[in-house]
C-alpha cells in the first residue's frame, strides 16, 4: 500500500500534463520541494486500509462484503472530511456530502488508485478480486470502474505472491481485456490527462511491466504525464508487491505525510504483520 502513496506524491507535480519535458526525460527529482504532496489518492487509499482494519480484527480473519462495504463508505467520508481539499473529483465530492451515499456509475480511475490495501489483506486471488469489487462499487459501480480496481488489485496480489511479469501480463490481458502490447514509447507521444480506468490502468500496468526496479517503475509512470499522481500510484502499488520499497524512498516520501496519515499507515503495517 505504501507504494500507492509514494506514487501519488511523486506524480503530483506532473498532474494535468505539467512539466512534460522534464517528466518525459525520466531525469526529474523524486521530490520537488514545496510542490510534491499527497492528494486524494493517498487519503482514500488509507481510508480503504482503515475500513479493512475496522472489518477484521486481524489480517486473515473472516469478513463479509456487507460489513466491508459499510466500513469503506464510513472511512472514506471520515478521511475526506479531514482533508476536504485533497483534490477529489466533482461527482465524488458530491457523494461524500450525501447522508446515504449511493454509487453513481463512475468508471473514473479513483476505484483503481485506492484499492491496493485489498491486495495485501487476503490470501487468495478470488478474495482479492471479490473485495476489490466491493471497494470500487460503493461509488464506481460501472463495469469499467470495477474492472479497473480488480485488475489493479490482481496485479498487486500476483506480484507479491511470486508471479512473473509475463504471468501478470497474460492474466490481466486474458481476464480483463486490457491491451498491454504497447510500449511506453508508443503511448507517450499522444497520451494526455485522462481520468478513466480504461485509459489509466493499462498504461499504469505497462509502466510496471517495463520498469526494472521500484524507482524505475516510478520514473516510467511519471514519464507518461496525464493524471500522473493516480497513474503512478497504481504503477508503484504493483511495483511494491514485486520489488518492495527501498529505504531511501521511505526516507524521502514518508515526511510528506502528516501525523494522522502516518499513524494510520503505522497501524496498517502492524495489522498486516
Do residues 97 and 133 make contact, with C-beta atoms less than 8 angstroms apart?
no
Does the residue 272 lie in any domain?
A: no
* Number of structural domains found in the chain: 1
Neighbours of 90 (CB within 10 A): 7
Cβ neighbours of 92 (radius 10 Å): 20
Sign of dihedral through CA atoms 163, 165, 166, 167? positive
**Which residues on neighbouring strands pair with residue 108, listed in sequence order?**
196
In-domain check, residue 273: no
Which triple of cell numbers denotes residue 14?
A: 506532473
Q: In whole angstroms, give the CA distance from residue 249 to residue 30.
A: 9
pLDDT at 260: 98
Q: What's 168's domain CATH number?
A: 1.10.4080.10
Question: Is residue 90 domain-resident?
Answer: yes
Residue 235 resides in a domain: yes
CA angle 97, 149, 62 (to 5 degrees): 85
| The C-alpha cell that represents 188 in the structure block | 507517450
Q: Do the domain assignments include residue 15?
A: yes
* Domain interval for residue 100: 2-267
Retrieve residue 10's grid coordinates.
511523486
Residue whose cell numbers read 516510467: 220
Burial 196-232 (b: 16+ CB within 10 A, else e): bbebbbbbbbbbbbbbeebbbbbbbbbbbbbbbbbbb
Q: pLDDT tens, 111-121?
A: 999 999 999 99
Rounded CA-CA distance 212/175 in Å is 25
Q: Specify the length of the chain in residues.
A: 273
Residue 189 placed within a domain: yes
Spell out the per-residue pLDDT of the chain, length 273, in tens.
999 999 999 999 998 888 888 888 899 999 999 899 999 999 999 999 999 999 987 776 788 999 999 999 999 999 999 999 999 999 999 999 888 899 999 999 999 999 999 999 999 999 999 999 999 999 999 999 999 999 999 999 999 999 999 999 999 999 999 999 999 999 999 999 999 999 999 999 999 999 999 999 999 999 999 999 999 999 999 999 999 999 999 999 999 999 999 999 999 999 988
Amino acid at each position: 500500500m505504501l507504494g500507492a502513496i509514494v506514487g501519488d506524491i511523486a506524480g503530483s507535480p506532473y498532474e494535468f500534463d505539467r512539466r512534460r519535458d522534464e517528466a518525459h526525460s525520466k531525469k526529474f527529482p523524486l521530490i520537488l520541494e514545496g510542490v510534491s504532496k499527497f492528494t486524494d489518492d493517498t487519503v482514500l487509499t488509507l481510508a480503504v486500509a482503515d475500513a479493512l482494519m475496522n472489518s477484521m480484527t486481524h489480517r486473515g480473519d473472516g469478513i463479509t462484503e456487507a460489513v466491508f462495504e459499510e466500513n469503506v463508505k464510513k472511512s472514506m467520508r471520515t478521511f475526506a472530511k479531514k482533508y476536504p481539499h485533497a483534490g477529489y473529483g466533482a461527482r465524488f465530492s458530491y457523494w461524500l456530502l450525501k447522508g446515504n451515499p449511493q454509487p453513481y456509475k463512475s468508471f473514473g480511475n479513483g476505484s483503481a488508485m485506492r484499492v491496493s490495501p485489498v491486495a495485501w489483506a487476503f490470501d487468495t486471488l478470488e478474495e482479492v478480486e471479490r473485495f476489490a469489487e466491493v471497494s470500487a462499487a460503493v461509488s464506481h459501480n460501472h463495469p469499467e470502474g470495477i474492472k479497473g480496481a480488480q485488475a489493479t488489485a490482481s496485479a498487486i496480489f500476483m506480484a507479491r505472491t511470486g508471479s512473473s511479469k509475463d504471468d501478470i501480463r497474460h492474466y490481466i490481458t486474458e481476464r480483463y481485456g486490457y491491451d498491454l502490447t504497447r510500449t511506453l514509447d508508443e503511448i507517450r507521444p499522444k497520451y494526455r490527462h485522462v481520468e478513466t480506468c480504461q485509459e489509466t490502468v493499462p498504461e499504469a500496468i505497462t509502466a510496471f511491466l517495463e520498469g526494472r526496479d521500484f524507482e524505475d517503475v516510478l520514473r516510467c509512470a511519471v514519464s507518461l504525464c496525464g493524471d500522473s499522481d493516480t497513474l503512478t500510484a497504481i504503477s508503484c502499488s504493483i511495483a511494491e508487491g514485486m520489488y518492495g520499497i527501498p529505504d531511501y524512498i521511505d526516507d524521502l516520501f514518508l515526511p510528506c505525510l502528516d501525523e494522522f496519515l502516518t499513524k494510520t499507515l503505522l497501524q496498517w503495517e502492524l495489522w498486516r504483520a
